[in-house]
Amino acid sequence: MSIDLPFHKSWFDDNEINEVIETLKSGWLTTGPKTKRFEDDFKDYIGCGYAIGLNSCTAGLHLALATKRFKAGDEVITTTMTFPATANVIMHERLCPVLVDVEPGTLTIDVNQILEKITPKTRAIMPVHFAGHPCDMDPVMELAEKYKLLIIEDAAHALETKYKGRKIGGLGNPTAFSFYANKNITTGEGGMLTTNDESLDEMVRVMRLHGLSRDAWKRFGKSGFSQWELRLPGFKYNMADINAALGIHQLKKINNFLKIRKQYAAMYDEAFSQIPELEILEKRDYAEPSYHLYIIALRLEQLTITRDQFVDKIQSAGVGVAIHYQALHLQPLYKKKFNTRLDDYPVATSYSARILSLPLYPRMSVQDIERVSNVVADIISCNRR
């Protein structure tokens, strides 16, 4: 099987390449002036108080939680339809992930089911802006306020997403973004935590680098040498300048990238709206999505093939696709450790067997989108029940 239209390709030009070369020539590769510049630009773009450069979104989720020092066994509510990282960090802190099903249409956390999962041990809620569509944050924030819970937003898919006209990352909750290779902008690997809380900003800056009081750039900086002190047992989660060099220029392209994604998503919508065997995801009135993923769900009862057979056929036609996701409660870890049952999460269970993500990125051409649409339509028409 040879794939000539991959699921994702990043878009760099001479600006990124020259900035990386300049970083290499400067001799300073790790956290330093480029990271600081990217953090400042990112903070301005989001319109938040603070932005801390990290080596992943996972690091951001983990640090936002770790700085709170909840008691082992306390509970954190999140969605079952997410990448393992969201819930792994809960377990790293010896806390218990409590999974909630998703709402049909957007696959974001079903806000109406959060209340029934809140117990005296609940400490936090981690909503995931799935595929770049925002969760309905007002009711989540009302619950958090009422029950004194922390909110940490997983915005791995949601750079550029707006909720009721406000950018995700600027709603006042600690929010973690990803710059992994296939994200809307990329630094290869990387992440950013945004917050309006000065003390969280300070704590995360210490915790991202082993718990040291000052990072190397400041220790050897112009203001004279000063020795570090170890404050806390921290982590090695800092962003390196060589990655930030990419981010600085990727961020400048963000509006153009979003325009192209939106145009291509509309082309897919148009092509698939007349195919009854396909369900396309919905957009709520409060949402301006980032169009990070374009997900289709197969109506399997109307087809003679399974989702996995569909994936084989589309890849045989040279088009790369991916699955986001097989829900967490279906994973062996959760079945074994938490005894999760399929009928506790009927919506996510059903979608997990029927969804796939089509390629959607600015380096694709209009012809590529038409090609993918035609391949999908052909597979459907050859396999109708």
Ligand X SMILES: Cc1ncc(COP(=O)(O)O)c(C=O)c1O
Least separation in angstroms between residue 83's CB and ligand X is 3
Q: Which is nearer to ligand X, 56 or 184 (CB)?
A: 56
Least separation in angstroms between residue 64's CB and ligand X is 12
Helix (H, G, I), strand (E, B) or coil at 209: strand
Least separation in angstroms between residue 58's CB and ligand X is 3
**What is the x/- site pattern for ligand X, positions 161-190, by CB under 6 A?**
-----------------x-x----------
Stretch that binds ligand X, among 72-80, 152-160, 236-244, 359-367 (CB under 6 A): 152-160
In whole angstroms, give the CA distance from residue 109 to residue 81. 8
Measured in degrees and rounded to the nearest 5, phi and psi for residue 69 equal 50, 50
**Burial zone of 198 (CB within 10 Å; 0-12 exposed, 13-18 middle, 19+ buried):** exposed
Stretch that binds ligand X, among 79-87, 114-122, 136-144, 218-226 (CB under 6 A): 79-87
Least separation in angstroms between residue 326's CB and ligand X is 13
DSSP letter assigned to residue 307 = H
- Strand 294-298 versus strand 278-280 pairing type: antiparallel
Which of the residues 82 through 141 are near ligand X (CB under 6 A)?
A: 82-83, 85-86, 128
Stretch that binds ligand X, among 153-161, 242-250, 281-289, 332-340 (CB under 6 A): 153-161
Q: For this structure, is 9 an active site residue?
A: no
58 lines the binding site for ligand X (CB under 6 A): yes
Instruction: List, in sequence order, the alpha helices (H) in 7-133.
Output: 14-26, 33-46, 57-66, 84-92
7 lines the binding site for ligand X (CB under 6 A): no
Stretch that binds ligand X, among 43-51, 132-140, 154-162, 299-307 (CB under 6 A): 154-162
Cβ contact 240:217 at 8 Å: no
57 lines the binding site for ligand X (CB under 6 A): yes
> How far is residue 203 from each of residues 199, 228, 310, 349, measured CA to CA in Å?
6, 15, 48, 38
> How close are the terminal C-alpha atoms of the chain, in Å?
26
Which of the residues 268 through 297 are near ligand X (CB under 6 A)?
A: none
Least separation in angstroms between residue 341's CB and ligand X is 23
Q: Which is nearer to ligand X, 23 or 86 (CB)?
A: 86
Q: Which is nearer to ligand X, 195 or 357 (CB)?
A: 357
Cβ contact 60:192 at 8 Å: yes
Cβ contact 195:49 at 8 Å: yes
In whole angstroms, give the CA distance from residue 175 to residue 205. 15
Among 103, 154, 215, 288, binds ligand X (CB under 6 A): 154
191 lines the binding site for ligand X (CB under 6 A): yes
Q: Which is nearer to ligand X, 170 or 191 (CB)?
A: 191
DSSP letter assigned to residue 322 = B
Among 23, 31, 35, 56, binds ligand X (CB under 6 A): 56
Residue 151's CB: how many other CB atoms inside 10 A?
A: 21
User: Which of 361, 20, 348, 373 lies closest to 187, judged by CA?
Assistant: 20
Least separation in angstroms between residue 301's CB and ligand X is 29
Q: Look at the block and give the residue holding tokens 């001479």.
A: 14
Q: Which candidate in 121, 183, 252, 253 is catalytic?
A: 183
Residue 174, CB-side half-sphere exposure with 13 Å CA sphere: 29
Question: Which residues lie near ligand X (CB under 6 A)?
Answer: 56-58, 82-83, 85-86, 128, 154, 156-157, 178, 180, 191
Q: Which residues are catalytic?
A: 183
